[in-house]
Amino acid sequence: MSAAPSSGPHTAAAVIARALKARGVDRVFGLCGGHIMPIWMALDAQGIGIVDVRDERAAVYMAHAYGETSGRPGIALVTAGPGVTNATTGIANAHVARAPVVVLSGTAPQPQMHRGALQDLDHVGLLRGITRLARTVRVPAQVPQALDEAFAAAVGDGGSEPGPVFIDFPTDVLRAEVPLAVQLAEHERRRPALEIAPDPAAVAQAVELIARARRPLVIGGRGARTAGLELAAFLDATGALYLDTGECKGVIRDDHPSLVNAMRGAVMGDADLVVTVGRKLDFQLGYGSPAIFGAPAWLRIADNAAELRDNRRGEAELFATPRRALHALTAAMGKRENAIDLDWQQRLRRGHAERSSQLAASMATAPDGADGFMHPNRLLHEVQRAIGDDATVIADGGDFLSFARVGMRCSAYLDPGALGCIGVGTPFGIGAALALPGKTVAVLTGDGAFGFNAMELDTAVRHRVPVLVVVANNGAWQIEVHDQTTTHGKVVGTRLQRADHAAMARAFGAHGERVEHTSALPAALARALEAVRAGRPALLDVLVSGEPKSSDAKSGLAWVPDLQPLAAWDALERDWRAGPSA
């Protein structure tokens, strides 16, 4: 039998709680369990808020969104065994998104390990491939240093890639005392993020590329989030055109003249210089293939190698904190004239303005479908009018996410990201709303995606999280079962019912309304936002038509709806099959 829990000030659990508080942690997202009770109790004793959730996956999602929107790592606390396995999807999502998350857990007492103890599982072996650091701390004296290392790894200090870290502690270690000699202030001190200055020689090389470029394009990524002012100044100074991505939507305002999202395909194909700012060239950008980008020069800017040289190497590469690199480039350009093709620049700007105006007009007047239900774009138009352009938007789902990504304006944005992990919407919204008190946070989700974590509405109610959740309910999720007895393999199956999600919200104590007609939507939005301003979560269950398809759904190619995507992907496949040119 294990010793009774100790509540002394020098137990490992108490040291962990003090270290979190010293680093500015004000809340932890988790689900209670026996293996983590010492930490849970120590956090409470330190006055650190605990947001208790309904599923560990949601705890990590909330920590993810909290970290991305607060600027400091989000903390999740999950118990052993199924607590960790439940959390694994959230950890994998943070891994792909490069989100700063620290996940803490417990494990069986050391004398009971490998003997069939309750929830005895090799957590570290399970998670090593999807974390920046995974470690079991078996010696109480190593607790302070291990936490220090975990926080540094999560934020990518020193030029490593940021992302989730995982540390667990046997319960006998949590109850043991940490020697006073190793409880050093240096391990608890809140430290500013390390910044990397750009190499002057690399800056000079990059300036030459920029100065002679006639059709320069900047693509923002994760690295642009903390470089908004410097990025805007760089775009103004160089006249380069700009594309945002889901990693940095809202960093550059929608009316900035350089932003040409509506001409995405054309500008990527025409550019003779492409500058990436903390952005991987993943599938959403065609891996940087000549089939999509032609033959531009590349300038890569990033504070970690993973975003600096994946798929395409740069003629110049700036390994530096992106905001410092952009500031240095703008300063080095000075009053130097560039060679930009003004006709090209203005043509794409006009094209973007025209397409954007057409989209806005079509959203405002989008007719109901033949099934009598609202068009998703009309729903988004009314939401935009209600929340304004300065809200934080969380988009989730399949096709509805694509409508929202294209149609919504916002100051900050999160979505499932490159892992495509639908179901993040409600927990992301809770994490973001807690990180951004006083700011409107709106979750825009399809009904299928909402179902993954719908129970977290209960969490929002219990913790009085003022978040708006709008469910686009088209009942369109269908399991395809092919009838092999027919010649063409006819698809038979069942669709989701148009369940009354608003009734569920009311059952939990949230404000909930079902909206069946467009005419009722503005007033319903006003009532929902009034509830949010009063500190309550609110949900609108809006019946929408399942007939409209987004450009992504039609093409199967995200981010480049105007590129004749099927032809582009055929060309990309030919590149892969052909191999190196002779």
Catalogue the active-site residues.
480
DSSP codes of every residue in 407-439: H---SEEE--GGGT-TT-HHHHHHHHHHHSTTS
| Rounded-to-integer distance, Cα 71 and Cα 171, Å | 31
| Phi, psi for 241 (deg, rounded to 5) | -90, 160
**In DSSP terms, which residues pair with 468 in a beta bridge?**
442, 538
Q: What is the dihedral of CA 553, 558, 563, 564, to 10 degrees?
A: -40
Q: Are 570 and 545 in contact (CB under 8 A)?
A: no
| Rounded-to-integer distance, Cα 311 and Cα 47, Å | 47
The sign of the CA dihedral 456, 462, 463, 467 is positive
Q: Are 308 and 302 in contact (CB under 8 A)?
A: yes
Quote the tokens at residue 27.
């809340």
Q: What is the dihedral of CA 13, 15, 16, 19, to 10 degrees?
A: 160
Q: Are 264 and 283 in contact (CB under 8 A)?
A: no
Quote the tokens at residue 493.
């199956």
**In DSSP terms, which residues pair with 528 in a beta bridge?**
none
Q: Are 528 and 538 in contact (CB under 8 A)?
A: yes
Phi-psi region of 527 (alpha: psi -120 to 50; beta: other; left: phi over 0): alpha
For helices 342-365 and 399-407, the axis angle rounded to 10 degrees is 120
| Rounded-to-integer distance, Cα 218 and Cα 295, Å | 15
Which residues of 361-497 form beta strands (DSSP E)? 392-396, 412-414, 441-446, 468-473, 481-482, 491-492
Q: How are beta strands 481-482 and 491-492 bridged, if at all?
A: antiparallel
Question: Can you tell me which residue has the tokens 């940087």?
Answer: 288
